[in-house]
Every structure is written in structure tokens, then in C-alpha cells.
Amino acid sequence: MSSTTTAAAALTDAEVRRIRADFPILGTEVNGHPLVYLDSGATSQRPLAVLDAERDHLLTLNAAVHRGAHTLAAEATEVFEDARATVAGFIGAGEGELVWTSNATEAVNLVAYAISNASAGRGGAAAEQLRIGPGDEIVTTEMEHHANLIPWQELAARTGATLRVLPLDDDGALRLEELPAYITERTRLVAATHVSNVLGVVNPVEDLVAAAHDVGALFLLDACQSVPHLPVDVRALDVDFAVFSGHKMLGPTGIGALFGRRTLLDAMPPFLTGGSMITTVSTTEAEYLPSPQRFEAGTQRVSQAIALAAAVRYLDAIGMPRIAAHEAELGRRLVDGLGAIDGVRVLGGGIDLPRVGLASIDVDGIHSHDLGQFLDDRGIAVRVGHHCAQPLHRRLGVTSSTRASTYVYNTADNVDAVIDGVAAAIDFFGGNR
């Protein structure tokens, strides 16, 4: 897909009400108030269909996959691989191009350490395209989550390469006019986020990918905040790698995924080694399976993969274009409503790009933790802090912010609740200063 989503009708109020009924937790109370859950950017809630899928597997098919020869193990392996095919298809990938990981952070580190191992001479001639060393450059951006920054800092330190960081303008938008100065013939890898977890804007990934490929560099996409909320097609985006997490897309914790072009995955030396990722082992050496199994050492996340596939089917049944349209409406309502309050600064609110249903704010005279506690007292769950994006906050002149993030189960009333809550907090803290 492009950075703009296909036009689609947003979800109706009746449809959202029916969706909310699939999430019992949304009917609970917090501090004596109905729960208003606006922290899906950190972790989403799970519908009954996902919870039931994992429980049913554990009740009827629990067994080690890719190991046993008995019937239960064979059936477990089949549904495990069916889950891989389902999740791969959701992002336009082939099932042989999707590696299970514990989360997106592990997926980024998998790529970084595979490149490190290739740079140390592992992988033979096939890994030449992955090698990096002194004089080479890795490029990321100033708005990245720490998980898409620190692994590249460490890779640069291990290999002697230079890490360069594409800057932002005063609103928080990428300074694309600087691309020719940052992505050059020395660039070997570009890693960037699709959707900022602080700003909520959908970055022009096509421009970044084109700039990387024009100089022969690889491109890794952090899709943690896009795959749950937008139609994402890794083929159309032309990325070489993409990472995302299950728990942000109605699935369980403990599972994430790495997409990689099959030719690249097959060329990459493994990151974790041990059982289940080998063909032949002697006391001095081992030969490894092709991807994706060569990156899945040890006992796998079987029930979690099956639950994630159920989450994908749930999202598909609603339709990702309609989810994106719904969240775009909620996101604009958040930005407009919060931005209209005196003393509130919406981070990235002035960026003219598509956005998901997420907004982070800085409020004059109120620390984000105090604001978050005030909202929590009203049953409104938001995220406070730097959201694992300290460089971005520093660039925008703040140390922390308060983030409200929506999903398919949120309503306009939920958005209005946080807007009203922020206004009430300003009145409360203003009267107590």
C-alpha cells in the first residue's frame, strides 16, 4: 500500500458497538468509572475469538511442532504452519518469508545480529550482500522507537560502521529534503518506522525505500504501529524486511514476526542456534535449515501463533481499509479536540500527512505522569512518559508526553472523554498551583 490508505467507509456506531461486545474487558470499571481504554499503541485488548482459539488449541492439539512423529504433533505442526501462512498473507508475504519471533524487538535484533555474523565472515558468498564494516553507513531517523535505534547503534559499534540519523523539522516531520545527504553510496541499510508511535503520522515510506534502493541499500520497516491499523502490503511497499508484534493487533503477547525477502533470509546466518533449526550436527559443526526455520531455534510459540492467526482473521473480517478509515476519523477528532484546549500542544499535530488514531500531548504546567493519574482516576487509560522515543521527545523540546491511542473498538465518545478529561485536569491543576 501507499502511505495514503484506500478510500473506504468508516465503521458505523452500530458496528463498533457490536465489535466492543467481543471484548469483555471493555465492559469493566476502573476506579468506579467505565473503562475508557486508550492505550492500544502499547498493547491492544483481545477479542473472545482470539482467546478461544488459543485455549481450544491447548485443550485439543497441544504438542511440540516439527519434532514428534505422532498424530498430535503432526496436527499441531499443520495448524502452526497454517497460522504462518495466514499471518504472512495478511501483509502480502509468502509463508516462507515470515519468521516467528517473541516480539518486534527480537525481530529487529535478529536482522542486526545476522548482519553482524555475516560481517564477521559467516554465511559464505551468499551473505556478501549483508556485510557491513568501516566506511559503511546505517541510516535511521530521529523519530524511531528505541527498538529500531539501539540495535543499529550496537551493530555500528560491532562492525565499525557509522550510524547516521535523518533529522526532523520543528513539527516532527522527517526532513525528506535531506535524504540525498544521508542516504548515499556508503549506505548499506536504512531502518525507519512506518507510523510514529508518538506522532501518529504515516510516513512516506515509498520515498525512503526508493532512496535506499537507488544506492543499493537494504530497507527495514518498523511496522508495529501500521500493520494493526492500516492495510499493509510488503510487496507494494518494496521493503526488504518488516517487523511487527502480535499484542498490538489483538493477538497475544510473546509473539512477533519478521518479514524478509526469501533470498535475503536464505543468505542470512542464524542469530539464535540450537535445536529444530538444523539439518546435520557433529561435535564440530552444523548445517542449518533454510528459512524460516533456521531462525526458529528451540521450542516455538505455538498457541500464540495460532491466536495471532485468529486475530488476523478477525481483522480481515472487519476489513483493514474500514479500520483505517475509522481510526483516521478518531485521530483527527483527537488532534482537533485536544489542540483546541488552551495550554495543550499536540506533538506532530501540524504535520500534513495521513495519521492513525493516536495523539500525544504536552500540557503547560502539568507533568505527563500527573495528567495520566488524573485521567486514570476517571477510568481513562492512556500512556505517559517518553514512549521509548527519547530522541524524538528531546528534538521536540519535551521530556515526556501523554498519549491516547485508539483501535477498532474505540468510539467517538471515548475520544471525547479524554478531551474532556484533559480540560478538567487543566482546571484542577490550575486551581491548585
Domains with residue ranges and CATH for the chain: 13-46+319-431 (3.90.1150.10), 52-316 (3.40.640.10)
Q: Tell me the H-state helices in 21-70.
A: 48-60
Annotated catalytic residue 224: no
Give the number of other Cβ atoms within 10 Å of residue 102's Cβ.
16
Write down the pLDDT at residue 268: 94
> 405's torsion region: left (phi>0), alpha (psi -120 to 50) or beta?
beta
Cα distances from 89 to residues 94, 107, 309, 313, in angstroms, run 7, 18, 10, 11
pLDDT of the residue at 5: 45
C-alpha cell at 191: 531502518
Mean pLDDT of 340-347: 98
Give the pLDDT score at 126. Answer: 84
pLDDT more than 90, % of the chain: 92
- The pLDDT value recorded for residue 2 is 40
Average pLDDT of the residues in 207-236: 98
Length of the chain: 433
Q: From CA 377, how far away is CA 375, in angstroms rounded?
A: 5
User: In the predicted model, is pLDDT for residue 3 greater than 60?
Assistant: no
The pLDDT of residue 431: 52
Confidence (pTM): 0.95
Contacts of 118 (CB under 8 A, 6+ apart): 127, 128, 130, 131, 267, 268, 269
What's the confidence (pLDDT) of residue 1? 38
Q: Choose the catalytic residue: 388, 398, 412, 423.
A: 388
**SS3 label, residue 383:** strand
At 4-43, the pLDDT tens digits run 444 799 999 999 999 999 999 999 999 999 999 999 999 9
What's the confidence (pLDDT) of residue 124?
Answer: 84
Q: What is the pLDDT of the chain when averaged over all its residues?
A: 95
What tens digit of pLDDT does each residue of 199-208 get? Answer: 999 999 999 9
Lowest-pLDDT range of 122-126, 256-260, 291-295, 408-412: 122-126
pLDDT over 60 at 433, yes or no: no
pLDDT at residue 306 greater than cutoff 90: yes
